[in-house]
A and B are shown apart, each in its own frame.
Chain A
Amino acid sequence: MKNPLRRIRKNLATDATESTATKVKRRDNGQLAARAVYRNLIAADTGVWALYTLENVPWEGLDATDRQRVMSSWNQTLYELSSRGRIGVRLRGVPVPFPLHDFCVSVDQSTQARRIAAAGVDTVEEYAETVEGQAFAADMLRVQDYVHRHQTRKRSTVLEVRVSPRKMPRGMSDLQLVASPDRIEGPYGKLEDLRLELRRINKIITGSPDGFVAPNAEPVGRPMTPKTIGWLIHAAVGMGMPVPTATLAGPRAGWDSDEVAGFTNLVEASQAPLAPTTELHTRRVVDHVVTTEDGRSIVRSDLDTLTSHVCVLHARGFQDRSTAEVANRALLPYLHHLSTLPFDVDFIAAGELIPPDEMETQASRVTSVAEDLGEHRAEHGMRVDVRQGDAVRNAMEYEDSVRRARPGDATRFRGVVMAAVTGATEAEVMESKVPQLVSDTRRNARYELVVQAGQYASYRAFIPGEPVNLKGSVTQQRLPVLAAAVPHVDTTFGDRTGMVLGPIAGSRDLAILDPHGGPAAGVSGVILNAGQQGSGKTTFLSSLAAYSAGTLAVRTVFSDPSGATERLIQEVPTLAKHGRVADLASAGSAQGSMSPSVLIPEPDRAMFKDDDEHEAAVESAKAERRQTLLDAFLLKLPPALGESARDSLIVAVQTSYGEYQQSPWEAIAALEKDKSDAGRHAAALLASDANSLGMRQLMPARMANGAPDRLATDLGTELFTILKLTGINPPAANLDRKDWDESNKAAMLLLYLSTRAATRAMYADKSKSTVLIDEVAMQFSASFAGFAARVSADSRKWNGCVAFSTQNPHTLHGMAPQITNLAGSVFIGTMKSKEAALAGLDLLGVSRDDAAFTQTLLSRRPGHWLARDWTGRVAYLGQSKDLFSPELAEATKTDPIDRSAHIEVEYEGVENR
């Protein structure tokens, strides 16, 4: 007797809404539906698919209106895809391993020459033996260890578009014809329609019919390559297992011991009857270096078995939501949400985009069913209850939205949304990850995820080109609803190479900051850093200093008035070797060492295109020297001196001062010759004050014969310099300037001059340099706005990174009205008051109305930053001390109570009792 099930199977072996496709019979032998891959095309049994990786879109740093704009633009793309009729699409989110190899290699290669030169050796082998070499290797290992322990991932979103529902009979050769730029004629002319359709899709996604992205274009997505498609197939087939490096993007050479070495064997998938997971097994060859008895090191290869359990959940019960809720971040975009969990979640939204005219019949039927229902109830003497009323209203709204809405809003996505969770054991998946995923989804994205039977088939659906069961758990959504799922939100932060800061909230990626990424990206190299006391500013700057001087081996000056960071030189061996501490306020500091005529260097002709430009720069430097000296003198003079004395001072400085290395005594000499008594009086006051704190650093010793002396300074010439100002007494922030006493004035003057002294390091030459200025205090100086603007522009030209740090973001606002534009990157830490938090948001350039941002800044978590990177991406990130070397961690420990010691004492007490 014939098996009756066979007939049923035969009849059901077609996907419900993929009905126009060639009937796809599921394979029993586990062979994939994908037959051939050419460029970004896959010829599969389900048709021909074109694959694109979606470009990430900014989200966090945008205000509600801009987020709505992102959604509408995504909506528009989807609409354009469906404008010719029904089209199959799949949105596939896949976690991508952190490119550790590329990262380590790029850091090594970009800094190697400088590091070797700084260590004073000639070869890489010699360098490896030095303190610096060992510290660098330890740093790289620490990053690798961190990435392993925290399972760091990036995320990629793939858009698969079905070019044709028909199977390609000749696989590869057909694909080559379809992808060709020339018209197809002759016996294969029937492929011409496909070629035109592919060009249309390419145009929508990449901006060019050929699928080549122009250098300055901003495409929706980029075509995948066979290599990345191969990677995606591997990642889907062996879900939850390491992905082979062979197919990973990026160079492979020299990275044999890569931690993401993949499987080389077949994947065995199995599923127990009605089990909630599919079990995957594979093997891979692992090389171990073992030492033999006679002391030789040999490589032994073992076959390692890998197991993974995959649970696929179907989305249903999408609750109503509003665009405003998603734009205000009250709700997460429902596909992006799946990437915010602390473990790997793959997702796929598979189905079709259906134009409204194809839905009209269905819409009318739904309405007539609803109306019929009401009539029936009435006929049976049953009241039309609220639910019934809702049903009729829903049906009518649906019909309305199909018939009368704009086509872009009325087009539907009809398909299934699935999420896949993996783990080493079924218990890990079902008892830990799935419950968390389900409850988080309910709370943050307002829909349900349910586990269904038929897990093996659902797992297969994640593989490109495989058929997807669209018979149940199907959701139908207007395009604006799917557009609000924004699967490709940008959750990365920072640069590809640089200092690893720590995790980024809402993703599993790492924040990386290249201190000189600003000039490289063509923006200012200024970093603004603000946060309350204890928010981690000094730790942030210290780590930046250690990275800059230690790993990058570039000239670094750290202006730290308190001198607390002196411990960096004491504790960190690499900094101790090349660093020095300059105490600018000490009695031993050279007289005149911070005179404006040496702090503001002479522009070098070689740095400018022509003489005119150089001349302009020379004049500008002179003007700045004058202005700095004037600021300093005016600060020291009593406010009661009167306007005429000020005017005389201004005239004297303007006429007699400004040259490089010129002594400020020449300005005082000019003032002494002033016609007015007030001017001469001012000159006498300044001359008598020349030995006081602050003025001593400004004024060199006066030459007895009156001849001008040429000044010089060696500040900032070493690889690492800490500028400290011990024993100064800055005024309280709220103290009015007229109430400052002499010590307050001296402190402000020294802070002001030390800022100038620190930035001097940038102007030595155009190689990279880093200037870190802690506790910026320059609210007294009108010229500081000009200084900030100049540093901002010069940091780009001179390849410098300049970080300004302060407790009060208002100070930074005071620096220059357009300070947000002058900054390349901004790091705002935790704040005590709402006003300060709002000022911090202004610096970041994000909306003040976003309550989530304000709450984040008020959350009092030290070492956490709401930050904007060089390219304008905004993210909330934490700086992890796990990435610090033990010495750096010790040097940046600012907690006055050593907690570990404290606990020990308590234990001792208990023991003694």
Chain B
Amino acid sequence: MDNDLKTDDAALNLEYPWYGPAELPFFWHARLSTQVYTAILAVTVALLLWLLIPGFLLGWVPLLNETAAKVLVVAVGTLAVAIPVSALVAPKITKERPISYWFQVLQDELEAPRKARLTERTPQGFLVLPEVAWNPRVNGQTKAMTTNIIGLDYQEGQ
């Protein structure tokens, strides 16, 4: 049977791994964009480590001065964080669910109203409904009416 009803999803969700130069392939199979995200993550982690780790604590490292020791620790720490994190996250980020989707989900989850807050009756989480006092027949005639309800202007058409 001719499967003429095909979605484009297979073609569009084509993974695009970057293998690196032929002599130096990447360590694991990952999408190009994931590798870019890994690089960004690595730089961020390195920066944080550099800022957070006080250099004088590393003075005891033999054969290295403070700065060199700090560079070494930051490099090792960066790899130790970035590689497992990206290896764990990489399979989740696909063409079908790109990183922007995950940020959107994170945002949705953070913004979703919580039950605990509802009990305090804050505006959060209340869907303000068009409260229509629907009474279109007045003295036997249909009354064109506009009810300004919170957020929704409602009018019967002509």
Residues of A bordering B, CB below 8 Å: 5, 8-9, 12-13, 16, 26, 28-32, 34-40, 171-172, 179, 225-227, 230, 233-234, 237, 246-247, 252, 264, 266-274, 278-279, 281, 316-318, 320-326, 366, 369-370, 372-373, 376, 379-381, 390-391, 394-395, 397-398, 412, 452-458, 463, 469, 471-478, 480-481, 484
Contacts and interface: CB of A to CB of B under 8 A. Distances in A.
Contacts of B16: 369, 372-373
B125 A279 contact: no
Contact of A476 (B1, B8, B101, B107): B8
Interface stretch (B35-43, B63-71, B72-80, B112-120): B112-120
Given A36-B152, A269-B127, A452 B3 contact: no
Given A456-B108, A481-B6, A30 B155 contact: no
Interface string B2-28: 111111111110101111001001000
A30 B151 CA distance: 11
Contacts of B150: 31
Interface size class of B (residues with CB under 8 A): 35 or more
Contacts of A476: 7-9, 12
Contacts of A318: 7, 9
B105 to A, nearest CB: 4
B5 A30 contact: no
B104 interface: yes
B141 interface: no
A270 B2 CA distance: 47
Contact of A225 (B7, B10, B157): B157
Contact of B22 (A380, A452, A455, A484): A380
A16 B95 CA distance: 14
Tell me which of A29, A317, A379 has the highest count of chain B C-beta atoms within 10 A of its own C-beta: A29
Contact of A472 (B1, B10, B104): B104
A471 B124 CA distance: 25
A456 B106 CA distance: 12
6 contacts: A32-B129, A230-B154, A266-B127, A269-B125, A473-B96, A481-B7
A326 B3 CA distance: 11
A237 B129 contact: yes
Interface string B73-108: 000000000000000000000001110111111011
Contacts of A457: 104, 108, 111-112
Contacts of B5: 320-323, 326, 478, 480-481, 484
A172 B129 contact: no
B157 A475 contact: no
Contact of B4 (A322, A454, A473): A322
B113 A172 contact: no
B7 to A, nearest CB: 5
Nearest to A316: B96
Contacts of B96: 316, 472-474
B105 A453 contact: yes
Contacts of A279: 115
B108 A380 contact: no
A372 B16 CA distance: 9
A247 B22 contact: no
B60 to A, nearest CB: 32
A397 B9 CA distance: 12
Contact of A471 (B100, B111, B113, B131): B100
B104 A373 contact: no
Nearest to B158: A39
Contacts of A391: 10-11, 14
Given A366-B11, A412-B8, A473-B97, A28 B22 contact: no
B62 interface: no
Contacts of B97: 472-473
Nearest to A366: B11
B57 interface: no
Nearest to B133: A246
A814 B156 CA distance: 57
B4 to A, nearest CB: 5
A-B residue pairs, 6 tightest by C-beta: A472-B101, A454-B108, A456-B112, A320-B3, A457-B108, A39-B157
B4 A366 contact: no
B1 A35 contact: no
A398 B104 contact: no
Contacts of B130: 32, 37, 230, 233
A480 B108 CA distance: 33
B108 A469 contact: yes
Contacts of A233: 129-130
A454 B112 contact: yes
**Which of A8, A227, A326: most chain B Cβ within 10 A?**
A227
Given A37-B153, A267-B129, A320-B3, 20 more contacts: A9-B107, A12-B104, A28-B111, A29-B123, A30-B126, A32-B127, A38-B155, A226-B154, A227-B134, A264-B131, A271-B114, A279-B115, A316-B9, A322-B3, A366-B12, A373-B17, A458-B108, A471-B100, A480-B4, A481-B6
B129 A454 contact: no
A227 B114 contact: no
Contacts of A171: 153
A376 B111 contact: no
A266 B3 contact: no
B3 A321 contact: yes
A394 B98 contact: no
B8 A478 contact: yes
Which of B112, B124, B156 has most A Cβ within 10 Å? B112
Contacts of A324: 1-2
A266 B100 contact: no
Contacts of B113: 30, 268-271, 456
A35 B100 contact: no
A738 B20 CA distance: 94
B112 A28 contact: no
A446 to B, nearest CB: 10
Given A380-B22, A471-B100, A247 B134 contact: yes
Q: Indicate the member of B100, B108, B156 with the most A CB atoms within 10 Å.
A: B108
Nearest to A398: B11
Nearest to A279: B115
Given A322-B1, A454-B112, A469-B104, A226 B7 contact: no
B128 interface: yes
B61 interface: no
B92 to A, nearest CB: 11
Contacts of A268: 113, 118, 125-127
A163 to B, nearest CB: 16
B110 interface: yes
Contacts of A230: 130, 132, 134, 154
Contacts of A474: 96
A394 B123 CA distance: 50
Contacts of B108: 453-454, 456-458, 469
Contacts of B109: 273-274, 453-454
Given A32-B127, A366-B12, A380 B25 contact: yes
Contact of B14 (A8, A40, A366): A366
A463 B130 CA distance: 12
Contacts of B123: 29-30
Contacts of A28: 111, 124
B126 A266 contact: yes
A272 B115 contact: yes
A146 to B, nearest CB: 29
Nearest to B154: A37
Given A37-B155, A270-B115, A475-B7, A246 B125 contact: no
Contacts of B14: 366, 369-370, 373, 391, 394-395
Nearest to B6: A320
A241 to B, nearest CB: 12
B115 A172 contact: no
